Structure 1
Amino acid sequence: MCVVVQGKVIRFDEVRGYGFVAPDTGGDDVFIHVNDLEFDKRHLAVGAVVDFAVEDGDRGLKASTVTLVAPAPALAAVAVGAAAPSAPAPTFLPPLPDLGSRPDGDAPSERELAAEVTEVLLAGVPSLTAEQVLATRGAFVAVARSHGWV
């Protein structure tokens, strides 16, 4: 059964052609692939709002029939067909978050931790496949859950 939802792109690597979208309804992030876009991938970036069908794929939730509702704020001013400026790829691992210094004093949610782990994996090991990112992130979040860190 496919359910159509709206969400915001939280990660998209145009070179590799995949990323993740956070559904507005909550729940797990959904894998998004360039082959499932109904529009030019140059219009997709972090912060873009999309409608998509959620499918249960072999490796978890997968977006299909993805349509653009609103471009990312940075791309909204870019002319159609023009290349968007891209940030240089990081050459180091970003610092790990200090889980004890959150303003509210609480541990991060599983969703927050999963998002941070995804960013660290993609920045630190750009050659990882989507399958590897999802598997590693899932294992890490499971360990964090078992220790009560989230």
Structure 2
Amino acid sequence: METGKIVKYDETRGFGFIAPDSGGEDVFLHASILDEELKQNLRGGMRVGFEAMPGTQGTKAVAVHPLGAASQAAEVADETRSGDDDELCDVLPVAEFSQQITDVLIETAPSLTGGQILQVRKRLVAFAQSNGWVEA
């Protein structure tokens, strides 16, 4: 069982992504593998344990369960930005950049599939890394 963090989960559309702690590509998460309680409580930033397997359009989760609530609250608090003006010039971590891309894609093009979102994010992250906009 691997561990990671929910990057984005859209309850209405029934899918999201998990950023594995081990790194690499985000894992596609579909609501069909979740129990009703987890579907309603799953949020971005939540720590989860999961099992994944290769799918036709990338890696997909086949089992997911939440990890301890206390550790989740601490991690979300650690990641909260201070709001200083100097942050406008900071190089973003890849995970944060990927989450922002996902948010924009889901908001502006809700008809995209999970596989399409993964492909677009991969290309945009590579482009941003080549320009020094995100950590390599």
Alignment TM-score, normalising by the size of structure 2: 0.70
Residue 62 of structure 2 corresponds to residue 34 of structure 1: no
Is the contact between residue 52 and residue 62 of structure 2 (CA under 8 Å) also seen in structure 1?
A: yes
Alignment of 1:34-73 (within 5 A): 34-37=31-34, 39-40=35-36, 41-70=39-68
1:14 aligns with 2:11: yes
Q: Is the 8 A contact 1:48 1:70 kept in 2?
A: no
- For 1:25-47, what per-residue CA distance to the aligned partner results, in whole angstroms no more than 9, with x for missing partners? 3333221111222x212232223
1:128 maps to 2:112:
yes
Is there any run of 5+ residues in structure 1 with no aligned partner, and where?
A: 74-100
Count the aligned residue pairs: 119
Structure-1-length-normalised TM-score = 0.64
Percent identical across equivalent pairs?
39
Amino acid at match of 1:119: D
Question: Contact between 2:58 and 2:115, CA under 8 Å: does it hold in 1?
Answer: no
Question: C-alpha root-mean-square deviation of aligned residues, in Å?
Answer: 2.6
SS in 1 for 2:12: coil
1:109 is matched with 93
User: SS at 2:97's partner residue?
Assistant: helix
Give, in angstroms, the shift of residue 122 of structure 1: 1.3
List gaps (5 residues or longer) in structure 2. Answer: 74-84
**Preserved contact between residue 28 and residue 111 of structure 1 (Cα < 8 Å):** no
Between the aligned partners of 2:125 and 2:42, the Cα distance in structure 1 is: 27
| Alpha carbons 1:121, 1:133 under 8 Å: kept | yes
3-state DSSP of counterpart to 1:20: strand
Q: Any conservation in 2 of the 1:59–1:131 contact (CA below 8 Å)?
A: yes
